[in-house]
Amino acid sequence: MTLAFGAVTLILFLAIGVGLYASVASALLDEIDTGLRFRAATIQAQAPIRPEDPVALDPQLAEPGEALAQVVAADGAVLQASPAQLTVPVLPAEVTRSLDGQATFERPVPGIAGTTRLLAVPVESGPRRSTVVVGASMQDRADTLHLLAGFLGVAEPLALLVACLAGWRVAGAALGPVERMRGEAAAVAVSGLDRRLSVPPGDDEITRLGRTLNEMLDRLETSFRAERRFLDTASHELRTPLAALRAELDLALARPRGLTETRAALMSASEETDRLTRLAEDLLVLARAQQGRLPLHRTQTSLRELVTGTVQRWRSRAAAAGVRIDVQAPDTPVFVDPTRIRQALDNLLDNAVRHCPHGAEITMFAVVRQGTVRIQVSDGGPGLPDDVATVPAVDGEPRPAAGLGLRIVRAVAEAHRGTLELGNRPEGGARITLTLPAPPAP
């Protein structure tokens, strides 16, 4: 910024200097020419009509070493001169004879300091012709221009230096808040995302930059907390089936068992393995959903076959837990992703079966109305915790107590541009409603 400011200032100073120098030079030259024209007019008024009647020139019209005046005949003879000793014409005869009007010349003249500015004016006096030549030294003009050039040569670099220093200080003061925010941003660690940048007062670009960075830190903190909740929930969900699987295997290996006991242990281990597989698939779904690219492959599917097929896979486990599943669904074609819907329903039934006491009933009710699919799962368990059932999702994520299963259901609902409603029944038990738009098949 300082270099650019200095370059522009240098160009500006050079332009001003050149313009000032040219203006002063032109003004001084105009002043010399005005004096020469005045002196020539005075001599013309005093000049004799006949050369044989000489008239001495006014000594005030010439200054020794500085100015001169001559009246020259057509043949080049000097009729009058001031100073008087200047008897040699300062302009050649062929030059004065060829003049059609007044003209100026610059040339050195003996006895005059520096270059002399000459004005030649032809004068017609009857049949005779003469020329009035006046001149003035240009040395004072040259000295003045030299002094001006020296002044500009010293003053402009100093002014440029002062301007650059001022630009440097102003730029530093303007960018000081940026440097401070940079240091504060460098001090923000992943473990300290609650820190924010200090924003200067006002509404300029620096202030808006600070606000934007703070908003970005807010989003990063939200994302980091969501990731941490996701990892905590995933580890909690994985710990239970792994512990159960290891307990079954350790128990089977602890002592010799009969065929029935061994078969029961293997079936239990198989169920826990299925649960682990389902959890791994759910984690993959959540990872894709958090990256914003949960793929959907919609096909036209019967809602009854989709719901009853999912429930059928859970009847044996529900029967083992002493829980009955009742399902109601119309035989209506819907245009959804059946694989993702089954994943969501599996998680809802898994939560319901695990939390329902012996003898409870689970009801799955599905209906299609005005292009919307509504699937509701109700159970006779203890119900959802208050912070899950009554508090809305935080930044698109359910509360930690909601668990991994409900996260999967929510991800599937959002992928279908639907919603998930969590609540409890007045008579007790959870009630979870999955609402999906079901556009007609293309």
- Does the predicted TM-score (pTM) go above 0.85? no
Rounded to a whole number of angstroms, the CA Rg of the chain reads 53
Quick one: which of 253, 243, 21 has its CA closest to 142?
21
The whole-number pLDDT of residue 391 equals 40
pLDDT tens-digit series, residues 183-206? 888 877 655 677 788 888 878 888
Please report, for residues 17, 151, 394, the alpha-carbon distance to residue 13 in angstroms, rounded to integers and kept in the order given: 6, 13, 62
Rounded Cα–Cα distance for residues 203 and 133 (Å) = 73
How crowded is residue 284: how many other Cβ atoms within 10 Å of its Cβ? 11
The whole-number pLDDT of residue 436 equals 92
Determine contact, residues 436/416, Cβ cutoff 8 Å: yes
- Local mean pLDDT, 10-residue blocks, the chain (442 residues): 88 94 95 92 69 50 75 85 80 87 90 89 79 91 94 92 90 83 77 75 83 86 77 71 75 74 77 75 68 76 92 87 92 89 89 89 92 92 73 42 73 89 90 87 70
The whole-number pLDDT of residue 364 equals 94
Rounded Cα–Cα distance for residues 263 and 226 (Å) = 41
Rounded Cα–Cα distance for residues 364 and 385 (Å) = 21
CA atoms within 13 Å, Cβ hemisphere of 90:
32
The whole-number pLDDT of residue 435 equals 94
**CA 364 from centroid of its chain's CA atoms:** 53
Going along the chain from its start, the domains and CATH numbers come out as 2-143 (3.30.450.20), 205-284 (1.10.287.130), 294-437 (3.30.565.10)
Quick one: which of 279, 359, 285 has its CA closest to 323?
359
pLDDT tens-digit series, residues 205-228? 888 888 888 888 888 888 788 777
Q: Which residues pair with 196 in a beta bridge?
A: none
How crowded is residue 182: how many other Cβ atoms within 10 Å of its Cβ? 13
Q: Which residues pair with 82 in a beta bridge?
A: 69
Q: Which residues pair with 152 in a beta bridge?
A: none
CA atoms within 13 Å, Cβ hemisphere of 400:
12
Sign of the CA dihedral 29, 32, 36, 42?
Answer: positive
Residue partners of 216: CB distance under 8 A and separation at least 6: none
Query: Does the bond joining 59 to the residue before it have cis omega, within 30 degrees of 0?
Result: no
Q: Which residues pair with 137 in a beta bridge?
A: 116
Rounded Cα–Cα distance for residues 36 and 30 (Å) = 10
The whole-number pLDDT of residue 43 equals 83
The whole-number pLDDT of residue 12 equals 93
Determine contact, residues 421/378, Cβ cutoff 8 Å: no
HEC sequence for the chain: CHHHHHHHHHHHHHHHHHHHHHHHHHHHHHHHHHHHHHHHHHHHHHCCCCCCCCCCCCHHHCCCCCEEEEEEECCCCEEEEECCCCCCCCCCHHHHHCCCCCEEEEEECCCCCCEEEEEEEEEEECCEEEEEEEEEECHHHHHHHHHHHHHHHHHHHHHHHHHHHHHHHHHHHHHHHHHHHHHHHHHCCHHHCCCCCCCCCCCCHHHHHHHHHHHHHHHHHHHHHHHHHHHHHHHHHHHHHHHHHHHHHHHHHHCCCCHHHHHHHHHHHHHHHHHHHHHHHHHHHHHHHHCCCCCCCCEEEEHHHHHHHHHHHHHHHHHHCCCEEEEECCCCEEEECHHHHHHHHHHHHHHHHHHCCCCCEEEEEEEEECCEEEEEEECCCCCCCHHHHCCCCECCECCHHHHHHHHHHHHHHHHCCCEEEEEECCCCCEEEEEEEECCCCC
Q: Which long-range contacts (CB under 8 A, 24 or more apart) does 213-219 make?
A: 213/181, 213/185, 217/188, 217/193
